[in-house]
Structure formats: structure tokens, C-alpha cells
A and B are shown apart, each in its own frame.
Chain A
Amino acid sequence: DTQLTQSPSFLSASVGDRVTITCRASQVITKYFAWYQQKPGRAPKLLMYGASTFQRVVPSRFSGFGSGTEFTLTISSLQPEDFATYYCQQLDTYPLTFGGGTKVEIK
């Protein structure tokens, strides 16, 4: 199984801060990788997808980078609506797996 390790698991930040979340995979991911945002009581929401060239489906302050076994999600200027939990996911191989999540809270 491909294990995904997210770091940090929790971060406290202020509106306007730049934050970066890392997702490390136990095996190389060649094609299918995605980032999601989840707010309490809601379903996950797709942020971006791709394993080398990322396609964004949300505002441009969100950006993704990485390939192989290390991926990052960066929010360039944190907005109030961005306080949530973020998950990475690999869809390359079965079983599909998620990272443990990164909770972004207001400082």
C-alpha cells in the first residue's frame, strides 16, 4: 500500500500568512494525485489534481508542486474561508489512500 504522510498535522496561522503543507509518499506516484479541503460537517472539496503538472480548480492563491514521492500545497495569502483541514490523496494504485490531514486554524 502507498502510505501518505502529511506534515504538519496541525498549524496555526493568521489571515494573510503564507502556509505550506507537505505530503510524502512511501512509493512513487506517477499519474494520479489530488488535494482536498474539508470543513467541519461537510464533504471534501477538490482543490487540485495531477502528479507533476497541477490543475487548479480553486482561487490562484492555492498552488501545488512536486512529483514522485514529495508534494506540497501552498496557500500564498491565507483567507478567513481557508481555515479548514486539508488532505492529500493518491489514486495511482489500489488501495487508494489519503494523508492523515492538516488542520489549519486561526492564530
Chain B
Amino acid sequence: DVQLMQSGGDLVQPGGSLRLSCAVSGFTLNDHHMDWVRQAPGKGLEWVGRSRHRVTSYSTEYAASVKGRFTISRDESENSLYLQMNSLKIEDTAVYFCARYIDSGFNDKWGQGTLVTVSS
């Protein structure tokens, strides 16, 4: 059974850092692109970034709003995907989801989401 289990959300001050984790099971992480998507309170979905699969050397893409501040990485031995968030801003407050990408062009499995609150 495919599962994505997220952790790491917390309350952090502006300018602070946080690392989110997405532990996967039921599939081989490195065979898939993986996306991070966020949702600010009461708002719509916003794509944050992507880690491509092994064949494409785990290269990454980021939304302009987070580029240079956020970094996506993987640990194959832990079957986990990470989102390192630095220089956090109030507007980064959101529920963050990890999602598996299928090469036919969609995200088929999602984590349960984890809340990041940036506030002083």
C-alpha cells in the first residue's frame, strides 16, 4: 500500500528555519519525481517545488516565491523526501503537502499535510 507520512511542521519565527519530512512506503522513492505543494489558510493550492527522479539525477525546480530559500532533498536509505525551509516569512504560513508524481502527468498520492506557522 502506497503511503506518504509527513512530519516536521511547527511554529517558527520570521527569519527562522524548518525541515519538513515525507517518509514514503509501498514504492521506490527514487523512481519518481516528487512535489511539494502548499496551501495557505483558507486559500488555494500553490506548487512549491519538485525533486526529479534518479534517472534525471534528482535535479530540482522551485517556485519563484521560494527559490533561494527552500531546498528539496532525498535520503534513499531513509525512503524520505525533505523540504528545508530557510529565511521563513509570514507568507510561508501554510499546510505543506508532499505528493508523488506519475510520468503520465499527475500527482496520484499525497501526504496528509503538515502545518507550518511563521509568526513572532
Contact flags (1/0) for A58-100 with B, using CB distance below 8 Å? 0000000000000000000000000000010101001111111
Beta-carbon contact of A95 and B61 below 8 Å: yes
User: What is the predominant secondary structure among interface residues of chain B facing chain A?
Assistant: strand
Beta-carbon contact of A34 and B64 below 8 Å: no
Query: Bound complex: CA of A16 vs CA of B46, how far in Å?
Result: 32
Which of B50, B105, B107, B108 contacts A31, CB < 8 Å? B105
Residues of A near B111 (CB, < 8 A) are 43
Beta-carbon contact of A97 and B47 below 8 Å: yes
- Given contact pairs A44-B45, A55-B104, A94-B61, enumerate 17 new A-B contacts (beta carbons under 8 Å): A32-B105, A33-B105, A34-B106, A38-B45, A43-B99, A43-B111, A45-B110, A49-B105, A51-B105, A87-B45, A91-B105, A91-B106, A95-B47, A95-B63, A96-B35, A96-B50, A98-B47
- Which residues does A use to contact B, with CB under 8 Å? 31-34, 36, 38, 43-46, 49-51, 55, 57, 87, 89, 91, 94-101
